Amino acid sequence: MFGMNDPAQTLLQLERYILDGRMEMSEVMAMQFTEMFLARKKRSTEDQIMLVKGLRILCDVLVSRGKGARAVASVNILLKERAKLVKTLRNGAPQLLEQMTPEAEDQHRAGNVLASGGKQRAARKAYAKAEKLAPGNLAAALDACRYIGYEAKLIDRLATTCEAAGPVIYTGGVFMLEPIGNKSVDASQVAEALLGAVPHGIGNSSLCAAQAQRIEDEKTAILQGEAAANARLQSALDSLTPKHDYYEYS
């Protein structure tokens, strides 16, 4: 069964299949992987870790394949098994808690899954919880608009988190916004989403337009050499540069 005797290797193979676009095979493999661990009445800590990782992959694959209803069932299991894992680690290996995927990321994932499955109200709660757990969660704010659609509250959250995310950064040939303590997001996708709301007068249209324009202006400035590719890093380096020649006082 896909070399399930080595769960860690199986997860790596799953990730490779996904990168190669072999989504049907990934779904079958992820389903068998998670079912294998769920069938074990007594699971070790390592088993529980593997199960949670496998469920994350399964949820993502099901959403990508348009199987929202099945994904909803899987994400509910994920959140339940994640809670069990947290309890297990807290009692037996608290030092490993810091290595876990942040809860905000799983709530963000739950928002995507629930919205895909038509559970809009539950999805809104999941996205809001992701923001509460990780303030300034731009990635979750963007997906909320993508999966649920343009609503005043959602588009306003996207605009304000974009504003707080800091300057556009150019890295690896892509323009990104990198909110401190949160996942980086494609700046062009954020600008496109913000502009999409403007013609409909949804939410704070002026802020949406201003932030979209700000992104485009900063991208242009970077390309023309008028701004640093990473303004935040440049600012930090500048702050380390002595402002005076201290030897002149000796």
- pLDDT (tens digit per residue) in 184-201: 999 999 999 999 989 888
Q: From the CB of residue 250, how many other CB atoms can be counted at a distance below 10 Å?
A: 5
Question: Which residue carries 């290797």 as its tokens?
Answer: 9
Average pLDDT, the chain: 90
Which residue pairs from 92-97 have beta carbons closer than 8 angstroms and sit at least 24 positions apart in sequence? Answer: 92/45, 93/45
Q: Which residues of 31-51 are buried (b: 16+ CB within 10 A; e: fewer)?
A: bebbebbeeeeebeeeebbbb
Using the Cα atoms of residue 30, residue 36, residue 39 and residue 42 in order, give the sign of their dihedral: negative
Q: How far apart are CA 104 and CA 243, in angstroms?
A: 41
Average pLDDT over residues 6-27: 94
Q: How far apart are CA 29 and CA 195, in angstroms?
A: 39
Checking if the pLDDT of 3 tops 60, the result is no
Which pLDDT score is estimated for 14? 93
Question: What is each CA distance from 67 to 31, 120, 143, in whole angstroms?
Answer: 13, 16, 17
Q: At what angle do helices 120-133 and 103-116 cross, to 10 degrees?
A: 160
Tell me the pLDDT tens digit for each residue of 43-63. 999 999 999 999 999 999 999
Residues in the chain: 250
Which pLDDT score is estimated for 246? 47
Higher pLDDT, 5 or 111: 111
